[in-house]
Amino acid sequence: MSLVIKQGNCCLIDHWEFIAKLYKDVLFEENYQSYTLSAKLFSITSEVRTRKRKKVYEELSIETSKIKRMYEEFIAKVPNSIKERISQKYNILDTSSVRDFSASLFQSTIFDHHSINGGSTSDIPLKCKIQNEYFLIPPNSRFYYGSVNEECHKLDNGIFDLVIADPPWWNRYIRRLKNANEQLSYEMMYNEDIAAIPLSNLLSSNCLVAVWCTNSPANIQAVKNLIFRNWGVRYVASWHWLKVAVDLSPICPFGTGSTKQPYEMLIIGKVGSVAPIPDGQLIVSIPSALHSHKPPLLDLLKPYINKEQPRILELFARYLLPDTTSVGYEPLKWQHISFSE
């Protein structure tokens, strides 16, 4: 995470800046090189809804109204100099070009890494060759490519202080994507399958668990009452990630009912004793055009763990993080050198 500004329970972070700092000095064949994600991936503009609604006026839910109010109060305090700097930095491509660019990167980075495990014990980032392709590997990181259920059994000797999970929740939209593109390795899971992940034996006596969740009420309740219970975790707080465009406006209007929202939820639980975690935090950032590319939150979560060097586990990982063990079908995908400049 690269913090831009914080006001009360709201903060603006810059995902691109985090990557730029992380890979500022990458070691490759005794030379140092600098990399960051292509800024084109963050050239996100706001969506405009033109569809006619059946009702002239519908009230926002209590939760959506609260998030909207927090955002409006927060963004009014962000200096114009920051708004202008961000807009100049990322306003590079139009929406269609960004989608085409993202799709071309996806298609060109489909690899068969089944059962490949690896990582780095170096304190500096490395550029490594894996199956004749180059990838960026962050400091002190490990990755396990495969089914989260199976790989968690192999990690039975590991105990982690912070766990972050981004499950592939079952939904009709992703199902249509998979039907249209068999190359997608995004395997949807039912709530009961996620709850069955053998995680409880991997949690330290004082551990923080954070799960990315859709805005589906059924999924939210499943995390709190089914998944956390099966993992031996107690629910403590809910945060929201508000996705904004290059002009810092929400990527789409705040919606009513089951319509698309410009935010996602992070549900946080704990085992044992951790520092008090505030409820209702709002994280604002420009998302990348890559599917389900969540912002790095280690710097926001680690302060609540009473440990100088916590052991960190990420499940369903799509990219690698420093000092973290990453597990899933795509932990290396966005580490490929083609995503970087």
Q: What is the pLDDT of residues 198-233, one digit of tens each?
A: 999 999 999 999 999 999 999 999 999 999 999 999
Q: SS3 string of the chain? A: CCEEEEECCEEEECHHHHHHHHCCCEEECCEEECCCECHHHHCCCCCCCCCCCCCCCCCCCHHHHHHHHHHHHHHCCCCHHHHHHHHHHHCCCCHHHHHHHHHHHHHHCCCCCCCCEEEECCCCCEEEEECCEEEEECCCEEEEECCHHHHHHHCCCCCEEEEEECCCECCHHHHHHHHHCCCCCCCCECHHHHHCCCCHHHEEEEEEEEEEECCCHHHHHHHHHHHHHHHCCEEEEEEEEEEECCCCCECCCCCCCCCCCCEEEEEEEEECCCCCCCCCCEEEECCCCCCCCCCCCHHHHHHHCCCCCCCEEEECCCCCCCCEEEEECCCCHHHEHHHEC
> Is a pLDDT exceeding 70 seen at residue 172?
no
The C-alpha atoms of residue 158 and residue 149 are separated, in whole angstroms, by 15
How confident is the model over 48-72, as a mean pLDDT?
A: 76
pLDDT at 1 over 90: no
Q: Which residues contact 159 (CB under 8 A, 6 or more apart)?
A: 202, 203, 204, 311
In which region does residue 286 sit, left (phi positive, over 0), alpha (psi from -120 to 50) or beta (all else)?
Answer: beta
User: 331: Cβ–Cβ under 8 A, 6 or more apart, which residues?
Assistant: 143, 144, 145, 317, 318, 319, 320
10-51: per-residue pLDDT in tens? 999 999 999 999 999 999 999 999 999 999 999 998 876 555
Phi first, then psi: what are they for 246, rounded to 5°?
-65, -20
Total Cβ atoms within 10 A of residue 13: 22
Q: Which pLDDT belongs to residue 56? A: 46
Residue of 66, 9, 18, 74 whose CA lies nearest to 293? 18
pLDDT-based confidence at residue 158 (cuts at 50, 70, 90): confident
Give me the mean pLDDT over the 335-340 stretch: 94
Does position 266 have pLDDT exceeding 60, yes or no?
Answer: yes
Question: Going from the N-terminus, what domains does the chain have, and what CATH number goes with each?
Answer: 3-47+58-339 (3.40.50.150)
Work out the pLDDT band at 110, boundaries 50, 70, 90.
confident
Per-residue confidence (pLDDT) for residue 187, from 0 to 100? 76
pLDDT at 256: 83
Q: Which of 145-149, 154-158, 165-169, 190-194 is predicted with the least confidence, judged by mean pLDDT?
A: 154-158
- Mean pLDDT on 47-62: 63
Mean pLDDT score of the chain: 90
What count of residues does the chain have?
A: 341
Closest CA to 296 of 19, 9, 52: 19
Instruction: Give the model's pLDDT for residue 60.
Output: 87
The yes-or-no verdict on residue 99 having pLDDT over 50 is yes
Q: How far apart are CA 307 and CA 326, in angstroms?
A: 20
Kindly tell me if the per-residue pLDDT of 179 is higher than 50. Answer: no
Rounded CA-CA distance 119/239 in Å is 30
If phi over 0 gives left and psi between -120 and 50 gives alpha, with beta otherwise, what is residue 62? alpha
The pLDDT > 90 percentage for the chain reads 76
Task: Report the pLDDT value the prediction gives residue 193, as an integer from 0 to 100.
Answer: 95
Q: How many CA atoms lie within 13 A of 282 on its CB side?
A: 25
Which pTM does this prediction carry?
A: 0.92
pLDDT of residue 183: 52
Residue 111's pLDDT is what?
85
Rounded mean pLDDT of 289-310? 91
**Per-residue pLDDT, 291:** 83
Task: Map tokens 């499950």 to a residue.
Answer: 167
Torsion angle defined by CA atoms of residues 262, 316, 187 and 153, in that order, rounded to the nearest 10 degrees: -150
